[in-house]
Structure 1
Amino acid sequence: MRGLFAAFALALTAGAAQAQAIPQWGYARSGTCDGYPRAAIETAPGLCVGLALAPPPTGLPLSKRTIRMPRSLLALPGGDLLVSDLGAWTTGRGAVWRVTPKPGGQPVIRPVLRKLDMPATLAIGPDGEVYVGEMSRISRFDPDAADPQATLTPVITGLPDNRLHDNRHPLSAFVWAADGAFLVNVGAPSDQCLPKPGWKSCPEAERQAAIWRFAPEGQGKWAAEPTVYARGLRNSLALVRTRAGTILQAENSIDVPQANWPPEELNVIEQGAHYGWPYCMGQNETAPAWRTQKVACAPYRRPVLNLPPHGAPLDLLEYRGEMFPELTGRLLVTLHGYRPTGSRILAIELDDNGLPKAGQRPRDLTPGWGAVKGKRPAGAPVGLAVAADGAIWVADDRNGAILRLAKDRR
């Protein structure tokens, strides 16, 4: 891990100018990847990336895209994908789409839900129903119904209405605990909770910057009032419950000018634990804004693994497909960040308890996804899904693309 961390730190200096602007062109195509147009993305040996949905190589403005900002993917039986579409960083413009991929052709795209408030996570619940998380609520719906919109039923409400510009972390993410409880991300209302005169602690961290637990009440119902399950987590958009039952979270750390600090974090979530925000980052280093308060970092839980600084991990998935036996049981992590540490997908080896193995160097599945004019934009991977054949599907929100990682058969 140290070698990978150092390599990313060096890459930041070399690629800083490249990361300053978001390019407006799309992905160039060259040949095919398992039946799909091959994207000009450099991958680990044996892999390739196909384009299932993407603007033309000349680019396409956000307003002209059918799916504007794809965030989360959910593979359905039969090969279709459900796609949550943020739409824009404002309310009422989000959607859920049903996509039928067509190798060698344009996918079929059908609307499922509209007028949503910044939809993010899509998941199948322990009851087999489909759930979608919006900014301030989580609902279930039936994507196979004649009118899916009519089936949209809120089940978790009253989540903080963290609107952008007033606050910073409006999106919800969730997993279910072993007992069926909803564990829901409640992002911090600010980046660093800058202390004010007389403060000894951050009032924002009392109930937000946390994971809330909504207790199960049976028959598809959960408690109206949550308890705080774990705290000190700035933004838990990447959550997964592994096959072993371990709950892992990838933390987006604070925004600072330093290129190689603080690291993003991979945390093992345990009930009642505090993970440090806003006081301490990484391996219990005091955050700059709180150094004058002389906070003690020892009581806070350290990450089990450091991730590249400013990489912005936005999804976690435990791979259990057939296409890539070498990835079986590994944790896949999307790094969405616009700095050179982002634009990649990592694979992390887990042990039998669902914990990252010590001393490893994560495998970089997409080492060449930075911006190259006329060839590709900087990748912005978010949601992951594994199809029945074991292919790995990826949503690229900034570039309006849905990509497919497959075995390179050429």
Structure 2
Amino acid sequence: MWNNCMPARLILCVVTSVSLLACTTVAAVTKVPEDVAASLKLPAGFHISTFAKLNPASGNDAREPRFMAFGPDGHLYLASSGDNKVYMLPDRNHDGKADEIVVAAEGLNAPNSLVFVNGEMLVSNQDGIVRAERKNGSWPATKFTPVISGLPTGGHTLKTIKYGPDGHLYLNVGSSCNICIESDPLRATILRYTIDGKPAGAPDGSVSGARSAIWAQGLRNSQGMAWQPGTNDLYATNNGADMRSETKGGAMNDELPPEHINHIEPGKHYGWPHCWGNRVTDPNFPGKAGFCSNMQPPAITLRAHSTPLGITFLDKAAFPSEYKNDAIVAMHGSWNRVQPYGYKLVRIKFKDNKPTAVEDFVTGWQTSNSAWGRPVDVVVGPDGALYVSDDRAGLVYRISYNKK
């Protein structure tokens, strides 16, 4: 049931016919501090500042500044699903602050991300991918041409598009539910297409070699994707199911299931909805015998319900050399824990091209059971700084390194 007795805090109480199992919350919305930099904690030598101010969230369901990409013009572009626009945030004088907020595209359908392919901007609407076309090289776009259409909507409806080093488009389609058997095979997947929108998923084994678009399955919601420099291995964040227990019919456990960082390989199944972690079977939604023994286990796990979203590698960041092989992940923060958690950036440390450890990189958005910000995406700019979007505070941050 829903309980609105605390106005700034969303509470979900999970009830069975015989008992109350748990009340879960999203961290309460608090005011953005006047001095953002002073409110956030970073490792020594790192500095954070506000790059751009956009629309703050109007409530807990924050869908404003989402995923970002740098264009061939060197400017930062950002999708805003709440107002159906893409913004350009130029910093022409290179002072670490956006000069202005330019509408690059409007009238979209819950856009979550964008990429540039051969100089053209592709935007992920909730129902497909469109190419934004403009006249005389000026924004805003004057026309949208469908590239991929008819994607399923609802549930985890926001889509992320990425352009891979193999010259293909990669696209996540989240599940329609928390735990269920999907009727649409495109749900809970990462899809792969040619740049002109033709399916190019993992071969299905048929004599003809025909392909669907499905590249990997069993991924409840994998919005963040990044390729490891040197290996071109694809890593993706994934959000685990809510309100799970380690025992059949048992109370919800805040620490289950773990969130996944997955090494995505073609044709693999990553466990949802029946499994999590290192091939653990959900006792309340088991699959067929032996199902979980065949799932692809995560490359590394994160604490349950921390909601990892954007991920980027740091090879091109102007950071100390010990960071060059590592990745940063944006933890959007929990909504369904008794004790809220997440709301930070973490560093995924790699050794011999494998993730080995997780440590905090930026904290301070959350204080006790409240949070004034929720990080969404992380990208490295041409200047070597790390840019971070926040769909609760309505901000884009810039993180740089200077040991002085």
TM-score under structure 1 length normalisation: 0.77
**Equivalent residue number for residue 283 of structure 1:** 278
CA distance in 2, matches of 1:221, 1:337: 35
Q: Does 1:118 align with 2:124?
A: no
**Equivalent residue number for residue 221 of structure 1:** 196
- The 1:398/1:140 distance shift into structure 2, 3 A limit, reads same
Unaligned runs of 5+ in 1: 1-15, 30-36, 88-92, 194-201
Identity between Structure 1 and Structure 2 (%): 28
- Secondary structure in structure 1 of the residue aligned to 2:367: coil
CA distance in 1, matches of 2:103, 2:384: 26
**Equivalent residue number for residue 97 of structure 1:** 87
**Equivalent residue number for residue 363 of structure 1:** 359
**Contact 1:239/1:247 (8 A) holds in 2:** yes
Structure (1 or 2) with the greater strand fraction: 2
How much has 1:221 moved relative to structure 2? 1.6
CA distance in 1, matches of 2:56, 2:309: 24
Q: Does 1:140 align with 2:131?
A: yes
CA distance in 2, matches of 1:317, 1:151: 30
Aligned length: 353
**Equivalent residue number for residue 327 of structure 2:** 331
**Equivalent residue number for residue 228 of structure 2:** 242
**Contact 1:27/1:54 (8 A) holds in 2:** no
Unaligned runs of 5+ in 2: 1-21, 200-210, 244-251
1:327-354 Cα distance to aligned partner (Å, 9 max, x none) = 21211111101364311111223356x4
How much has 1:189 moved relative to structure 2? 1.1
**Equivalent residue number for residue 178 of structure 2:** 191
How much has 1:399 moved relative to structure 2? 1.6
How much has 1:68 moved relative to structure 2? 7.1
Q: How does 1:308-387 map to 2 (within 5 A)?
A: 308-325=303-320, 326-338=322-334, 340-351=340-351, 354-356=353-355, 360-371=356-367, 377-387=371-381
How much has 1:98 moved relative to structure 2? 1.2
TM-score under structure 2 length normalisation: 0.78
How much has 1:378 moved relative to structure 2? 3.8
Q: Does 1:405 align with 2:399?
A: yes
**Contact 2:224/2:236 (8 A) holds in 1:** yes
Q: Does 1:230 align with 2:221?
A: no
- Secondary structure in structure 1 of the residue aligned to 2:28: coil
- The 1:18/1:46 distance shift into structure 2, 3 A limit, reads farther
**Equivalent residue number for residue 46 of structure 1:** 45
Structure (1 or 2) with the greater helix fraction: 1
* Letter of the 1:248 counterpart: Y
**Equivalent residue number for residue 161 of structure 2:** 174
- The 1:290/1:38 distance shift into structure 2, 3 A limit, reads closer
CA distance in 2, matches of 1:72, 1:309: 22
1:122-173 Cα distance to aligned partner (Å, 9 max, x none) = 2233x3432211101112335782244224322111211x23xxxx210112
Q: How does 1:253-272 map to 2 (within 5 A)?
A: 253-256=240-243, 257-272=252-267
- Secondary structure in structure 2 of the residue aligned to 1:240: strand
CA distance in 1, matches of 2:253, 2:389: 28
CA distance in 2, matches of 1:108, 1:239: 28
**Contact 2:57/2:391 (8 A) holds in 1:** no
- Secondary structure in structure 2 of the residue aligned to 1:175: strand
